[in-house]
Structure 1
Amino acid sequence: MITTLDRYPLRPGLLVEWIPEPVGAAYCVEDVRAPSYLQEEHIRAEVLFREQGVRASSWLATAFDLPGRVELEAMHSLLCTVLARHESLRSEFRFDGVRLARHTHPSSHVRLRMHVVGEFDSGARIASYLEGRFDEATNPLDNPLPTVFAAIVRPESTTALLASDHSRTDGYSLFLVPHEFAQLRAAQQDGRLYELADVDSHVDHSHAERSRAAAIDADHRGVLVWKRFLDACGGALPEFPVDRGVADGEVPEWAGLHETVLSEDDAEAFGVACKEAGVQFLSGLVAATATAAREIGGSREFHTTVPVHTRSARGAEGSLGWYVNSLPISVRTADAVDFRTVATATHGALRTALPALKVPCSRAWELTGTFPLLRTMISFMDLRNTPGSEHWAEWNVSGLGKPPPGDHVFLWFIRTRHGTSLTAVFPDTVAGNEIIPRIAARIGEVLTTVAATGNRSPLPVPA
């Protein structure tokens, strides 16, 4: 459900793109609402990459089909409505070398510049073109509003795409867009006003979160959770515990894989096995990953970070923005007698880490003097009840992404009505391309074995 552009089944048609641009006097007015800690860390990382001569794109996108040919004027109107509803897409960051400032533009001062790219006779050619455009137009250092809308128009259907720099959106937001578009399009075709519920502003959320976090000091319980974790990892954020073949100081390009690890029935059975063990589905996924790392890489303890959403307010449920914090997780695997042992330890580690939810992870890293270089992450999204999910197969819905280069191993597990998928991003090295697919295959084997039998005994580890 999250893949790369070249793996998404784009079909030929007329390609059109829209770029939002600020206009008018509001362009010069600074917003008093501060960026979130996570947004500032992201932008500063982009600056650091550029200073090192590394071109680092880091965008997220969504793609889906609308029935029939959507005329360009109608699509333009839909996009204007989406921009007006979601303030995060109209918010700009400016970095002067020291300070990051926000400038947010009212919808009346943002225009959508349309460009008819032309007819394409190949989906592969469209993907190649769009990847270059997304790389260019979503870079937050070069574009005030780093978002691109695109449409591939055909007589029988229209494929819509929205791509944005990661600072403006998160993975869950990608899967809110298709339903919103479908609702807006239905209202448009019926000649009525849309009736979508109002959504909160992520800009407001970021400012409130930062204001609260600014008052937190190094003695806060959540900061102490991070400090204990970092101490256990040698004073820095951990790396994935297998050799990826990356030399010190090297910034490799990334490689990726995407596969289904549990069918719909197997996911149900795995969920039952987790419940019988007294743990949640997420704990089971992390435990399976820790088990795979132990059996293939020989690690005795597994350290990682787990993103958790911060959409606690009702109005945030349908809002586009980066509503994410992270929890630090350490699980000892050396003494595990079976899968349930690891899953129980993982469940306990997640509960122990809960005070860290009160502190944005970037603020905790700042207070502990930690360089904010995230190198391992396990994400899980259960999207079965996301609005419109019953139509995703019909709409050909998929999240798309392009991470920055680097020595990191990120895993995304996504559960839908059709099963559970795994997307992995890792260094594009000989070692990385050999060992991470083995890890992914072992994770799948652990999950299906537990789904079938309720438990699993560990395999021998490397000498």
Structure 2
Amino acid sequence: MEYTHLSDFRIRSGDLSIWTPELISPDSWHDDERPLASVHAQYLGFLDPDDPQPGRGRWIGTIFEMDAPLDERAWARTLELWHDRHEGFRTTVAPTGDGDYHRITTAPGTVRVTSAPVADLTDGEQINEFLCDVLELRLSALVWPHLLVATIAHDTDDFTVLVGADHSVLDAYSQAVLILELRTLYTAVTTGGEIRDSSTFGSPADFAAVERAAAEELTPDAPAVAVWRDFLGAPGSPMPRFGAGMVAELDGEHAQPSVSRTLLTIAELEEVEARLDQLKHRLSVTVFAALAVAWREVFGQDRFRTVMPIATRPDLTWLESMGWFVNVVPVDITLPSGADMAAALTATRASLKRAHICNDASWGRSLAMVGAMEGPTFGASFLDIRMLPDYELVADLRGRTLRAVSYSTEEVYFWVVRGPEGLYVSTRYPAGLPAEVMDRYLTEFARAMYAVTTIAAPAAAAPAADVPAALSAS
């Protein structure tokens, strides 16, 4: 599943409607003593309540084509049931008066969803531009609802669905699984089928309580904090940056360039995976080893440092939840001098094993304890889309996960995906970074991945020689 901008998705022409959640009664909100997750609280601290475009550079979402005609009443009911199911869509924040925020929540059955047709706008390209503007203007972490839905009804027996949300109520896993969840709900509503309930739709607010309790127990001498300390270096040291010293300062605000490309075709990838099976290495290890090798080839440095977002759904309670279940861990790989991919794989596996110590430790609290003066600006993640249920059907529905256009002058992120047609990457980077630098890096990344096929397979174990029984038992 490609992770891209909305502007890169070709929306077919049709009749556009915006679907907005609203409270049946404005008195439905109640104070909620459960805390905000650490990442949520940190996120709010960077926001300007007076920003006229609160979603600019922040919203995320999903777009796909529903393989059924649009029944507006059934679709409204589908979205209402979806909000009833997921408390994360029915919780928000209110100011405390001292510059902080606390949680408020509304109960199931208190949200209705209304539609507003957008008249005289049927061209797909114009719809795309309109929706990009709407999501920047209306999605905010500080103002509920934090989620909007758009539909485009076509002159065929299907319709396009766009779900846009503030990051505080959606993460990458949620973006991917919501396609089939909405499809299943809509089918049940339109056919009178059973609406499935499950113990795996746990509340992100309940998770936040667990996460904050664990964060409070974190101490400066915790093993996870030690890993972050080694990653950062001396207190106050800058975070690792991609292409440090190569990013030109530009006048004004510039959208970050975005690149998506296939790194390995399915035939090439299957060659790599076959050799990895022999070498007993995971594809995820190989991805980060190749990133480190490409780093050495392009920037001449044996030490590669980045951060890796990871899912933090600690048990089945939150398996199908909608919310922001993400932590960040440090990846710090030092390649032996002159290391080939075989040595890079060994070094990377050890580095990722050490990073695993940080999985359940709040990255924000950890960084505060080691004296970091800023947050991460360079990150990379890997997803094997085949872990998702019915991933092939998602492709048939033209499913895409979306990110907002970023305007950062420092951030660089890579999203590497193992999909049904090969291994591909999406990246965004500052406008001041020369495109040829990124192009070379991606070329070296792909070359390092395929170099796995040249690693000698381990020799088969020789059969045991015949020895006297007395010796063989010793």
TM-score (norm 2): 0.88
- Structure 2 CA distance, aligned partners of 1:17 and 1:48? 24
Q: Check the 8 A contact 1:257/1:423 in 2, yes or no.
A: yes
Q: Please tell me the residue identity of whatever aligns with 1:151.
A: T
1:6 Cα offset (Å): 1.2
- Structure 1 CA distance, aligned partners of 2:134 and 2:250? 32
Alpha-carbon distance change, 266 to 46 in structure 1, aligned in 2, over 3 angstroms:
farther
Alpha-carbon distance change, 26 to 249 in structure 1, aligned in 2, over 3 angstroms:
farther
Q: Which moved more, 1:333-342 or 1:29-38?
A: 333-342
Q: Check the 8 A contact 1:170/1:324 in 2, yes or no.
A: yes
Instruction: Name the residue aligned to 2:460.
Output: none
Instruction: Name the residue aligned to 1:45.
Output: 46
- Structure 2 CA distance, aligned partners of 1:233 and 1:303? 16
Alpha-carbon distance change, 224 to 126 in structure 1, aligned in 2, over 3 angstroms:
same
Instruction: Name the residue aligned to 1:427.
Output: 430
1:161 Cα offset (Å): 1.2
Give the match's secondary structure for 2:289.
helix
Q: Which moved more, 1:187-196 or 1:241-250?
A: 241-250
- Structure 2 CA distance, aligned partners of 1:218 and 1:203? 26
1:446 matched to 2:452? no
Instruction: Name the residue aligned to 1:417.
Output: 420
Instruction: Name the residue aligned to 2:22.
Output: 21
1:55 Cα offset (Å): 7.9
Matching of residues 166-177 of structure 1 within 5 Å:
166-177=167-178
Give the match's secondary structure for 2:115.
strand
- Structure 1 CA distance, aligned partners of 2:144 and 2:184? 29
1:79 matched to 2:79? yes
Alpha-carbon distance change, 360 to 116 in structure 1, aligned in 2, over 3 angstroms:
same
Alpha-carbon distance change, 356 to 104 in structure 1, aligned in 2, over 3 angstroms:
same
- Structure 1 CA distance, aligned partners of 2:251 and 2:324? 29
Alpha-carbon distance change, 22 to 224 in structure 1, aligned in 2, over 3 angstroms:
farther
- Structure 2 CA distance, aligned partners of 1:283 and 1:241? 23
Instruction: Name the residue aligned to 1:350.
Output: 352
Once the two structures are superposed, residues 307-357 of structure 1 have per-residue CA deviations (whole angstroms, 9 ceiling, x without a partner) of 221123113221111111122111123613211211211111111122211
1:148 matched to 2:148? yes
Identical positions, percent: 23
1:252 Cα offset (Å): 5.2
Q: Please tell me the residue identity of whatever aligns with 1:343.
A: L
- Structure 1 CA distance, aligned partners of 2:235 and 2:330? 11
Q: Which moved more, 1:431-440 or 1:278-287?
A: 431-440
Instruction: Name the residue aligned to 1:230.
Output: 232
Unaligned runs of 5+ in 2: 457-474
Instruction: Name the residue aligned to 1:63.
Output: 63
Q: Which moved more, 1:111-120 or 1:72-81?
A: 111-120
Once the two structures are superposed, residues 20-56 of structure 1 have per-residue CA deviations (whole angstroms, 9 ceiling, x without a partner) of 23453555532111111111111222239959x9984
1:137 matched to 2:120? no
- Structure 2 CA distance, aligned partners of 1:250 and 1:338? 43
Instruction: Name the residue aligned to 1:458.
Output: none
Instruction: Name the residue aligned to 2:93.
Output: 93
- Structure 1 CA distance, aligned partners of 2:254 and 2:222? 36
1:314 matched to 2:310? no
* Aligned with 2:282 (options 257, 280, 283): 280
Once the two structures are superposed, residues 234-268 of structure 1 have per-residue CA deviations (whole angstroms, 9 ceiling, x without a partner) of 73322124544144999753221111212233333
1:84 Cα offset (Å): 1.2
Q: Highest Rg: 1 or 2?
A: 2
Q: Please tell me the residue identity of whatever aligns with 1:133.
A: V
Instruction: Name the residue aligned to 2:34.
Output: 33
Once the two structures are superposed, residues 256-313 of structure 1 have per-residue CA deviations (whole angstroms, 9 ceiling, x without a partner) of 1111212233333323333444432111111111211211122231111112211231
Alpha-carbon distance change, 224 to 264 in structure 1, aligned in 2, over 3 angstroms:
same
1:449 Cα offset (Å): 3.8
Alpha-carbon distance change, 234 to 341 in structure 1, aligned in 2, over 3 angstroms:
farther
Give the match's secondary structure for 1:30.
strand
Give the match's secondary structure for 1:139.
coil
1:210 Cα offset (Å): 0.7
Q: Check the 8 A contact 2:336/2:343 in 1, yes or no.
A: no
Q: Check the 8 A contact 2:308/2:330 in 1, yes or no.
A: yes
Q: Check the 8 A contact 1:41/1:372 in 2, yes or no.
A: no
Q: Check the 8 A contact 1:278/1:344 in 2, yes or no.
A: no
Alpha-carbon distance change, 68 to 246 in structure 1, aligned in 2, over 3 angstroms:
same
Alpha-carbon distance change, 275 to 172 in structure 1, aligned in 2, over 3 angstroms:
same
- Structure 2 CA distance, aligned partners of 1:333 and 1:97? 48
Once the two structures are superposed, residues 212-236 of structure 1 have per-residue CA deviations (whole angstroms, 9 ceiling, x without a partner) of 2112221111111111111179733
